[in-house]
Amino acid sequence: MTDENSPETALGNSDGSETSVRPYPNPVAGVFDDVSPVPGSSKPDPILVTNLVTKTFGGLVAVDVEHLEIQRGAITALIGPNGAGKTTFFNLLTGFDKPNTSDVRLDGEDISGVASYRLAQRGMVRTFQLTKVLSRMTVIENMKLGATQQTGESFWKSMLPIWKPQEREIEERADELLDRFNLTHMRDEFAGTLSGGQRKLVEMARALMTDPWLVMLDEPMAGVNPALTQSLLGHVKGLRAEGRTVIFVEHDMDVVHDISDWVVVMSEGMIIAEGTPDDIAADPQVIDAYLGSHHDTDMSDLDVTEIDHEVEDEFEVADKHPPGAHPSEIEAEGDVEA
């Protein structure tokens, strides 16, 4: 994370060429100075608070998040190894999947079980790991679809010309965002002709058509060339400078360190660490989650007998607690035996 109040960000055009350097202030600099770098830590002004969010698929516990608070106006990174449950957790928070248990509050209001389109109307939007542009529609048409509360969506009102003034306002808003994201030259092109990076830009711009408070980005840099990555990074910082809250899933630790104010780490469906990028980079538990507990051990120094015992112990636990057993059930049984 950059500690300066006005970090400079080199932006790029959607074709990959570099443009000017634009300063973006960080309005939440210093906010996390007194926040403990532990899972479930309290934040000064959380916009999103989750409690007991769980999801199982058959015998697999995919998500088991006890408590999480997201600071208003900050950029929070959600990281973890493949299969940690990050995207599933995103889906549960945004109404794209149904949790087993969930208590989620947006700005103090209970949004557990609220449909995704209603969450968008309340100011909580997301993008996807795989872009969701409509390839046979133009870029400007894709943008206009992102606006909510459109009069023309009503069958009877669409029969009358009362929707036309709003349509003009929506198109003006879309053009402003296309200009901001350096996509004006692609305005009338079919979205299917765009590169992967350009589609990411369109999806982020379309999300802003709702003027959201909270923007959730699922791997926004995945598959994007380095020049466009810089452009996307600049736009994410721009969201924070406007006072919006950003949560994003990312695997590139250089990106996480560059733009994040706070980092949340998931592993095996649970949150195992929270902290600043520097805290997380030095956390042994995080390093083990990514690289394994023996990552810094010379293989010739390993005790084969000890490893065999560890494997046998794991099989013994698996026999006692078949797939589907929740960690809390295992702990409870252990307490009884004790």
Q: For residue 236, what is the enclosing H or E element?
A: helix 226-241
Instruction: Please state, in angstroms and as integers, the Cα–Cα distance from residue 33 to each residue in 55, 70, 245, 271, following that order.
Output: 33, 15, 18, 21
User: CA–CA separation, 263 vs 86, rounded Å?
Assistant: 13
Taking alpha carbons only, the member of 212, 210, 204, 214 closest to residue 72 is 214
Instruction: Tell me how crowded residue 202 is: count the other CB atoms within 10 A of its CB.
Output: 26
Cα Rg of the chain, angstroms: 22
239-294 pLDDT, tens digit each: 999 999 999 999 888 899 999 999 999 999 999 999 999 999 988 888 887 766 55
Q: For 148-164, what is each residue's pLDDT tens digit?
A: 777 766 677 777 777 77
Instruction: Report d(CA 9, CA 21) in Å as an integer.
Output: 6
Lowest mean pLDDT of 92-106, 126-140, 150-164, name the range.
150-164
- CATH architecture assigned to 8-136+210-291: 3-Layer(aba) Sandwich (3.40)
Q: Report the pLDDT value the prediction gives residue 317, as an integer from 0 to 100.
A: 57
Three-class DSSP category at 250? coil
**Does residue 179 carry a pLDDT above 70?**
yes
| Token pair of 253 as six digits | 């630790």
Domains of the chain: which residue ranges? 8-136+210-291, 299-337
Q: What is the pLDDT of residue 241?
A: 94
Q: In one letter, which amino acid is 224?
A: V
Q: How far is CA 87 from CA 13, 130, 158, in A?
A: 29, 11, 37
If pLDDT is split at 50, 70 and 90, which confidence band does 58 have?
confident
Q: Which residue has the higher pLDDT, 100 or 314?
A: 100
